[in-house]
Every structure is written in C-alpha cells, then in structure tokens.
A and B are shown apart, each in its own frame.
Chain A
Amino acid sequence: LAKTTQPISMDSYEGQEVNITCSHNNIATNDYITWYQQFPSQGPRFIIQGYKTKVTNEVASLFIPADRKSSTLSLPRVSLSDTAVYYCLVGGIYNQGGKLIFGQGTELSVKP
C-alpha cells in the first residue's frame, strides 16, 4: 500500500484558505486518493476523493497533478470549527480489498 507523508501540523486564521499537501510517491495505478477529517473522540469523516486532476465539492477541493505522486486538499475560508486532524489516504478496491492505512495526519489549528 502506498505510504503517505503530510505535515504534522499547520496553523491558520479564520477566513483564510488552507492547503494541505500529501506525498504518495508509490501510488498504484488503481489507487484513489481520499481525505478524511477527524475531531477528538469521533470517527473520521469523509471529505473528498479523487483519482486525477481536480475534484471539488461543497466543502473542499482536491488537486492532483498528472504524475499523481502528491495531492493537495484545499479548504476555502476556514473557520474555528475546521480545527481537526486531516488524513490523506491512498487505496483502492483491487488493492488488498480497499483497506486504508492511516499515516500521522495533519493537525490543523484555526485561530480567531
């Protein structure tokens, strides 16, 4: 399974755009990239998933370059409630049944 590397922590202020980049150099052809958000004592919450180029939904955008060796989660205009740990995961159905191995994640702290 592809290993992922993210910054351990990031700080931001309310209203700013936050970009969190994840490296996954040995991503496989069938792998998708998925980002989750986790608050303390809660299960991870699905944010966004993509395979290549750009994906956007109501809460975030995901940018994936052509070589797919990295990806960037973009959170527009963050608020205090976006303070959480963000995980980037790589995997797919055909790769060991779709199991996901969590890395250390990025602890985002949003300040007023």
Chain B
Amino acid sequence: GAVVSQHPSRVICKSGTSVKIECRSLDFQATTMFWYRQFPKQSLMLMATSNEGSKATYEQGVEKDKFLINHASLTLSTLTVTSAHPEDSSFYICSARVTGTYEQYFGPGTRLTVT
C-alpha cells in the first residue's frame, strides 16, 4: 500500500513554544490530507482537512490560530502547534487521500509532550 511518513515521531517541548509536525505522502500525490489527534484509550478525533494550495478546514471546536496547517505541495502538509500547553500533549496522526480515489492512508503518528 501507499506510504505516509510523519516527522518527528516524538517531540518534547516547553510550554509556550511552537512545534511543527510534517506529513508526507512518499509514493503518491495527495490533494487532500487530514490531521487527527488521539488521547490515550480514545479514538481518533479529526482536527482539520488540509487541501493543497488552499486554506485548511477546521472541525468545530478546533482553534485555527493555535493549530496552523499548511499544505504547500501535493506531498507535504504541516501542522504547527503554537504556544503549546501541557493539555496539547497528545498523539497527532495525519492521513493522505490518494488523489482521485477513495483510498486514504495514515502516517505513523507523532507523540507530542509539552512540559
């Protein structure tokens, strides 16, 4: 199947700083990518839909000024957590939809810990 990578896999940052997470589709083009977060023992929660060359669409309750999303190319989307707080500590997962199909593949996730 298609491969999606995320970088970094783990990151620890201090409260008040910003962290950028990258999501790449390695062997296919993805016009649309999605960002999720997952707390322990819970399901994935969709945060936003990222479309190449346009603004992201955020789910209700997700602060767009805190979670900045950029989708500058057909293979890369980035999520920046600004002014991070301990409650932002979570497992962040991206997915990429193969352009023109119903197929969607997920990255391995990024564990963010804010101290």
Contacts and interface: CB of A to CB of B under 8 A. Distances in A.
Interface stretch (B63-71, B75-83, B106-114): B106-114
Nearest to A98: B97
B104 to A, nearest CB: 6
B102 A32 contact: yes
Interface residues of B, number: 28
B28 interface: no
A92 B97 CA distance: 10
A49 B105 CA distance: 12
A99 B43 contact: no
Interface in A59-112: 87, 91-93, 96-105
Contacts of B6: 43
Main secondary structure on B side of the interface with A: strand
Given A46-B1, A49-B102, A98-B32, A87 B43 contact: yes
A98 B44 CA distance: 16
Given A36-B106, A105-B43, A41 B49 contact: no
Contact of B103 (A49, A97, A104): A49
Contact of A43 (B32, B43, B109): B109
Given A32-B102, A97-B32, A102-B45, A43 B107 contact: yes
Nearest to A96: B49
Given A98-B32, A105-B43, A43 B49 contact: no
Given A32-B102, A91-B102, 6 more contacts: A42-B108, A43-B6, A97-B32, A97-B57, A102-B46, A105-B43
Interface of A: 32, 34, 36, 41-46, 49, 87, 91-93, 96-105
